[in-house]
Amino acid sequence: MRKIQILGTGCAKCRQLAANAEAAIKGLGIEAQIEKVDKIQDIMRFGVMVTPALAVDGEVKSAGKVLSPEEIKKLLA
């Protein structure tokens, strides 16, 4: 099972990124766990300075923008 982490403090962009990640998972028909990382210390451990960010299986794939469901699908495929 893939692990997708949304890094952000809960702003509107972070919530949108989480929703887009859920849509991408459903669209691909894969099993994945979405985890929200909202503590600044935890976000900084990823080396992320700009949120929202998206990590897949512990590796940061995007920071500072809201990826579309289609962009997330490409990262997961």
- Dump pLDDT digits (tens) for 21-61: 999 999 999 999 999 999 999 999 999 999 999 999 999 99
CATH of the domain at 22: 3.40.30.10
What pLDDT shows up at residue 69?
Answer: 98
Strand-strand pairing, 59-63 and 32-37: unpaired
The catalytic position among 6, 14, 48, 55 is 14
Count of the separate structural domains present in the chain: 1
The range of the structural domain enclosing residue 68 comes to 2-76
Indicate if 15 belongs to the active site: no
pLDDT in tens, 6-27: 999 989 999 999 999 999 999 9
Residue 27 three-state SS: helix
Q: What gap in Å lies between CA 47 and CA 15, rounded to an integer?
A: 20
pTM: 0.94
Indicate if 14 belongs to the active site: yes
Report the residue count for the chain: 77
The catalytic position among 3, 9, 10, 11 is 11
What pLDDT shows up at residue 77?
Answer: 84
